[in-house]
Every structure is written in structure tokens, then in C-alpha cells.
Chain A
Amino acid sequence: MLKLHDLSKVFGSQTAVKNFNYNINLDAHEKSCIALLGPNGAGKTTTLKMLTGLIKPTSGTIVSDQMNGDLRNYIGYLPQYPSYYDWMSANEFLFYVGELSGLNKNILKTRISEVLHSVGLKDVGRKRIGNYSGGMKQRLGIAQAIIHKPKLLILDEPVSALDPIGRREVMDLLNKLKKETTIIYSTHVLHDAEEISDEILIMNKGEIIETGSLKSLKLKYQKPIIYIQSDNKIGNWINELSYIKEVKRESDNSVTITIEDEPESRTRLLEDLIRNNIEISKFVVGESTLEEMFFKVVQ
């Protein structure tokens, strides 16, 4: 378990992250893949950098019962804008970072070919990094992050700069990797979070605003919504109804309402509409999604 307790980070007068409390499960049998989701400027990168030790929290602690000494021994990190030495070959670079992580030469040699194989760069291991394409560099970035078999893999926007093909490759790779290690990655695209993560952590303005498994969050935000359009004016009485959660007024004679997820609420609503002499011209039943909730947050 890696416990992030009340982390906060202030840059000058700007608070990038505050009151960040979260526990990351590192147990071998309970590996999880966590997506840190939020709009740009939500504090995702700052949070991940605090995890890597590249920046120090203004307050709060990061402690673990499974990691002793330098946490960086157990962490693999792919920055948002990775930059490696252009004049090195992938082999040389992986050798360099592997040695820094304390691996010995012989182990490292087999490990490098293993890692290059799994990211699909085996044939170009001798090529200079300067000649790599964006997708290849990103895969090399993942290779350097996993070379020392970290307990926790931290990826900052691993797919956002890639074209669809590169994105697919990296996503497939992460799907494979999540069986081996706990992954936390940031993204501002909900779809990327839904695709491979088991847990979603939504951040906005430096704070966690929602956490939970993908399933539970989807369920939580899957509420029946009803769109009503009438020929006459819909009065404010509609806001007072007990089974209604939220009313969004589109115009004088149209509203979108979110109701309790019970079968009888819909019938009760219809009854109430008739009792109030509403001349219904449209009654559309739909469902809200996590996407809408996220969209609201982003705005």
C-alpha cells in the first residue's frame, strides 16, 4: 500500500494540488490500474511528479509499508513530454538508466532485450534515439519505465500526443503491463480512462472530486433523465417534487430533469404533469452518463 496523505502543492501563490488523500494498492494479487482523469490544469502532472519524488509536496506525506529507503527504486515514470539523449541508441539508454536503478550488467542485458521485445522495438535497439518517431519514443519511454520491474508505474498522459495507431499500440501495451504491475496514469480523455482502468480518480482544480471503480462510478452517474416539452408554460412547482433530483430549465416550456432511479418515479411524474395541466408535446426518457458528469466538471 502506498498512502498519499493530505498532499498539497503550492507554486508561489497558486495552489496546484490540495487535500489529496488516496491509497494505492501495491499488493501482488490486487494490482490495479488507476486512471487520473481531469481537465488540463487540474493538477494531475503535479500529483504524479510528487509521487515520483521529482517535486516535493508543500505539505502532506507519501508513505509505504512495502517500500524502504528511496521510493524511486520502486517507481517507473514516463513524463508527459519525454526527452531522451538523441545521440544514444535505445540499448545504450536502457543500459544507462538500468544501471542507475542498480541492476547489474548481466541481468540488464537479458532484461533489455526482454523489455525491447515487449514494447516492439527489438529490431531498432541499436538505432539512435534521435531517429525514432514519436510513437517509438513513447514506447521507449515505457521501456525505460519498466526496465527495473517497478512496483508502481506512473505514466503522465501516455497516449495524448500520439496518432490513432500509436495510441492503439500504447493502449495494448498498457493492457499487457497491468497484469504485471500497478499502474497509475493521467489523461484528460474519459475514453482513455474507461478503456483500461479499474479505478478512476477524477481531479479538478487541484482536488479529487470523485473516486471509485469504473463500474461503481458508471452506476452512480447512470440516472434516468427526462426531457419534457409542452405547449404551455411549465411552472416552478416542478422543482418541488420529492422524487426529482435536478431540474435544468431549457426554456419556459421545456425542462430536462433527473429523477430518482425507481420505476414508479416516471409514472408519478406523468401523473403530476397531467394534474398541473401541462400539454405535453415531447416526453423523452434517457440516461445520464459518466461522460456528462465529467463534461460538467470540465466546464
Chain B
Amino acid sequence: MRGIWIIYKKEMLEFTRSSKWIWLPIVFTLIGIMQPITSYYMPQILDAAGNMPEGTIIKIPTPSGAEVLLKTLSQYSTIGILLIVISAMGSISNEKNTGSITSTMVRPVSYFTFFISKWFAQVTIISASIGIGYGLTWYYTNLLFSDVSFKNFIESCVIYFIYVLFIISVTMCFGSVFRKNGAIVGSSFLLITALAIVNGIFEKQMKWSPSNLMNQVGSILMDNKYLDTLALNLTSSLLMIFGIIFVSIFTLQKQEL
């Protein structure tokens, strides 16, 4: 336990030194709050874009707060996934590439401790960034559009968080397998988007998939209720996350330094 805390603290210091604590929250916030703000000013934006014949009446239905929030989350699951993958890609591989991993592993530290502390560190900074961004988006949405209840906001946030855990775990798993960051980003992004696409086509068969959590989030925001497969969805997602973490630690252990 002590080892986990020590490595975790080191990771946090690195995030601070590398300005990650500045740019990651800001990016997620910008991506998030752009959504309600551009939706709100859409008529003016179109107007300013010009090229409309005199007297054209621009009529865009005002979206509901829930729709705006959902759009932000769907941004989070495209550009957001890329950012998460980029944030987590080097966590393991950089240490293997430079060899700095040995200075930790010659101490009485297990691979479990090494991996899990880095995993927690990534989870901390990424979920904090998304939390801040999504929170501010919620605030703006309520300010400019119809209210979304605090309960729905929190619940959608928590379920999206499970999906984020899955993305972080997948990326760090590829980070344990590969050395090149390109390979890590490529395979992680490919796997996660492929899963989401398959999920879109075979919705019935994919109720267990972590990518289906996005449908749960949509349902809670729009219809104020969960899909009836929530329990299955959450359990299988969490089990997959545990499985991926286990595989990562096992792979790390098998590679000799």
C-alpha cells in the first residue's frame, strides 16, 4: 500500500511538472462548454456567416438542456477518447523505453504496485479533467437552456466515468505490450472505436459492452431512466476492466527488464 502511494505521488509531481494539470482540464472544459455556447449563439453565428438572402428567417429549434449535455458527452467520446489515450499512452511505455522503470523495480516493489499506482494516477487526472469540464458544461447548460437535474448530471457522469476507466485500462494495457507510442495510440483508439461501431450496429447483442454505457448515459439524460440492462452492462464492464488490468500486470511481469 505504501509503495502505491509513493509512486502515485511521483506521478502527480510529474503531471504538475509537465503542465498536464493545466492543459488537460482546460481542454476538456473548452470542449465541454463550447457545446452549450455555440448552440446558444447558433442563430447569430449563422447570421454572421452571411450569404443569406435578405429577409431569410433563421429558425432553429432550441435544443433541450439534456440534448446539449449529451452532445458534450458524445464529443467527449470522440476527441475525448483520443485525449485520454494520449494522456495514458506513455505512462508505462516511456519508463520501459528510457529504462527509468529499473530504478523503481530494483526496490521492493511488485509489478502490481507499479501498474496500479500509475493506473490510479491516470484515473485521477483524467477523471478530474472530465469532471471539471463536464461540471462547467452542466452549469452553462442550466444557465442557457432548460434545467438538467443534479441527479441526472451526477448519474450520467458516474456511468461515463466507468467507460473512461475502460479506455484508460485498454490504453495502459497496450502500453505494457508495445513500446512505440504510435502503436499504443493506434491500437487503443482502433479497438475502442471498433467496439463503439459494432455496438451501434448490433445493439441487441452488445448489451454487455463498455461502449454501450454511452447508450445508458443517453437514456438517463433524455428519458430520465436507465436501460433495463444496466446491471449486466456495469458488471461486465467492471469485470473487463479488472481482466485488462490483470493481463497488463501479467504481461509486464513476463517481459524482463
Contact = CB atoms under 8 A, between A and B. Distances in A.
Q: Do A and B touch (CB < 8 Å)?
A: yes
Interface of A: 49, 52-56, 70, 72-73, 75, 77, 79, 81-85, 87-88, 92-93, 96-97, 99-102, 144
16 contacts: A49-B257, A54-B257, A72-B107, A72-B108, A75-B106, A79-B102, A81-B99, A84-B103, A87-B18, A92-B13, A97-B103, A100-B7, A100-B104, A101-B107, A102-B108, A144-B103
B109 A100 contact: yes
B6 interface: yes
Contacts of A93: 103
A55 B256 contact: yes
B203 interface: no
Contacts, number: 60
Given A83-B102, A87-B14, 19 more contacts: A49-B256, A53-B106, A55-B256, A72-B107, A72-B108, A73-B108, A77-B102, A82-B99, A83-B103, A84-B100, A84-B103, A85-B10, A85-B14, A85-B100, A97-B104, A100-B3, A100-B108, A101-B108, A102-B108
A102 B5 CA distance: 12
Interface in B73-115: 98-100, 102-109
A100 B6 contact: yes
B204 interface: no
Contact of B107 (A81, A85, A88, A97): A97
Given A85-B14, A144-B103, A99 B108 contact: no
Contacts of A99: 2, 6
Nearest to A101: B107
A256 to B, nearest CB: 45
A79 B99 contact: yes
Given A55-B256, A144-B103, A96 B10 contact: yes
A99 B13 CA distance: 15
Contacts of B108: 70, 72-73, 100-102
A258 to B, nearest CB: 43
Contact of A83 (B3, B13, B98, B106): B98
B17 interface: yes
A100 B2 CA distance: 8
A54 B105 contact: yes
B17 A87 contact: yes
Interface of B: 2-3, 6-7, 10, 13-14, 17-18, 98-100, 102-109, 256-257
A39 B107 CA distance: 29
Contacts of B2: 99, 102
Contacts of B103: 82-84, 93, 97, 144
A79 B104 CA distance: 12
Nearest to B106: A77
B99 A56 contact: no
Nearest to B253: A56
A195 B16 CA distance: 45
Contacts of A102: 2, 108
A70 B107 CA distance: 9
Contacts of B98: 83
Contacts of B3: 100
Sort A-B residue pairs by CB-CB distance and give the 4 closest, nearest first: A100-B107, A83-B99, A55-B256, A70-B108
Contacts of B7: 100
Contacts of A85: 10, 14, 100
A54 B106 contact: yes
Nearest to B257: A54
A75 B104 CA distance: 13
A55 to B, nearest CB: 4
A88 B16 CA distance: 11
A263 B142 CA distance: 105
Given A82-B99, A83-B98, A92-B13, A52 B256 contact: no
A143 to B, nearest CB: 12
A72 B98 CA distance: 21
A83 B106 CA distance: 13
Contacts of A54: 102, 105-106, 256-257
B36 to A, nearest CB: 37
A73 B6 CA distance: 16
B82 to A, nearest CB: 24
B10 to A, nearest CB: 5
Contacts of B257: 49, 54-55
A111 to B, nearest CB: 15
A75 B106 CA distance: 8
A144 B108 CA distance: 14
B7 to A, nearest CB: 8
A72 B106 contact: yes
Nearest to A73: B108
Which of B14, B104, B107, B256 has the most C-beta atoms of chain A within 10 angstroms of its own C-beta?
A: B107
Contact of B100 (A70, A83, A100): A83
B170 to A, nearest CB: 26
A93 B2 CA distance: 17
